[in-house]
């Protein structure tokens, strides 16, 4: 299966007496690069969450965030020391800035770390959290697979356009060679100004010209790379296709550059430009593949 490195997944569920919501996003990256944003109560299970991410995703920058929605039955308690510290600070602010003397208890209770609960009881176990994370990752991978299928279809379309351009170059090459030969012969005869030509020497120069303009090897390598590219799309390796397709793109671009340097023909150069444009479009999308 071909996977994009871009996707989103979410899941929620119970962990102990808390309700945990998990969101996970991924974008392209050269390697597997996880980033976790866990509330304090879940930090002790960061290793288990990271392992679950690594099992689900092999490549990409993956950001996972979680939040806890506590229930009234959590048995939360007021941290009186924290409560008193907030009251003290608020009283000083009232005196300093000549504010009213009334303090809303409800407002103070909503301040961070005033109401606390037992982390062990509220957030359950590592296995409960990992189960929620795995559901979010499964949704992420479903989206990555769907996007990967669309990208694979797009790449096949662009590759077909490149193949068509290469075929036009291959069809044009023999006639271009004859034209260049005739042009060389005519130029030499004009320069000779009626002097008899050394046909053997002229034949040697034509042979050198033909060798310099010959693109048959490039055409053959183009077809070899096309076959490897399609085989990778049809039978993607377990470790993903992105790096292999990136390598094949470099090889295809090398053949395009060599063909362009040998072309010496407007029609062939036009097709070389088409090839390079399509290779750039493919490269932009291959960077998003796992």
pLDDT digits (tens, 9 = 90+) for 218-267: 999 999 999 999 999 999 888 789 999 999 999 999 999 999 888 878 88
**Can you list the positions of beta strands (E) in the chain?**
7-15, 18-27, 32-37, 60-70, 77-78, 115-116
pTM (two decimals): 0.69
Say whether pLDDT at 142 is over 60: yes
Q: What is the CATH number of domain 7-74+123-142?
A: 3.30.230
**pLDDT confidence of residue 56:** 93
> With 60 as the cut, is the pLDDT of residue 73 above it?
no
Structure confidence at residue 65 (pLDDT): 96
Query: What is residue 70's predicted lDDT score, i.e. its pLDDT?
Result: 62
What is the residue whose two structure tokens read 């990752």?
Answer: 137
| Domain residue limits, the chain | 7-74+123-142, 77-115, 146-286
* d(C-alpha 70, C-alpha 14), whole Å: 10
CA dist list (Å): 235 to 1, 2, 194, 232: 8, 9, 64, 5
Phi/psi of residue 13, each to 5°? 180, 180
CA distance 290 to 287: 8
Asked if the domains at 7-74+123-142 and 146-286 fall in one CATH topology, the answer is no
Model confidence at 186: pLDDT above 70: no
For residues 140-160, average pLDDT: 95
79-135 pLDDT, tens digit each: 788 888 888 888 888 877 777 777 788 888 788 877 765 544 456 788 999 999 999
| 146-286 topology per CATH | Butyryl-CoA Dehydrogenase, subunit A; domain 3 (1.20.140)
Strand pairing report for 77-78 and 32-37: unpaired
- Higher local confidence (pLDDT), 52 or 18: 52
Written as one string, the DSSP assignment of 66-117 is EEEEE-GGG--EE-HHHHHHHHHHHHHHHHHHT--S---HHHHHTSTTSEE-
According to DSSP, the β-strands at 32-37 and 18-27 are: unpaired
* pLDDT exceeds 50 at position 154: yes
């Amino acid at each position: 299966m071909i996977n994009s490195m871009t996707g989103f997944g979410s899941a929620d569920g119970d962990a102990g007496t808390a309700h945990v919501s998990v969101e996970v996003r991924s974008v392209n990256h050269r390697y597997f690069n996880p980033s976790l944003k866990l509330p304090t109560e879940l930090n002790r299970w960061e290793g288990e969450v990271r392992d679950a991410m690594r099992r689900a995703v092999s490549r990409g920058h993956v950001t996972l965030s979680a939040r806890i929605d506590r229930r009234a039955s959590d048995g939360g308690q007021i941290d009186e020391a924290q409560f008193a510290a907030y009251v003290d600070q608020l009283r000083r602010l009232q005196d300093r800035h000549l504010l009213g003397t009334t303090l809303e208890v409800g407002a103070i209770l909503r301040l961070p770390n005033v109401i606390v609960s037992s982390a062990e009881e509220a957030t359950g176990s590592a296995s409960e959290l990992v189960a929620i994370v795995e559901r979010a990752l499964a949704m992420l991978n479903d989206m990555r697979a769907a996007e990967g299928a669309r990208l694979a279809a797009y790449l096949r379309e662009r590759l077909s356009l490149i193949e068509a351009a290469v075929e036009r170059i291959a069809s044009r090459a023999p006639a271009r060679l004859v034209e260049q030969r005739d042009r060389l012969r005519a130029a030499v005869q004009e320069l000779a100004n009626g002097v008899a030509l050394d046909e053997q020497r002229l034949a040697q120069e034509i042979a050198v010209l033909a060798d310099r303009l010959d693109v048959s090897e490039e055409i053959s390598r183009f077809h070899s790379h096309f076959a490897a590219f399609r085989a990778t799309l049809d039978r993607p390796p377990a470790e993903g296709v992105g790096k292999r397709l990136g390598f094949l793109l470099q090889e295809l671009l090398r053949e395009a550059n060599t063909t362009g340097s040998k072309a010496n023909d407007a029609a062939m150069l036009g097709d070389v430009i088409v090839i390079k444009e399509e290779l750039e479009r493919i490269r932009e999308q291959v960077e998003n593949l796992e």
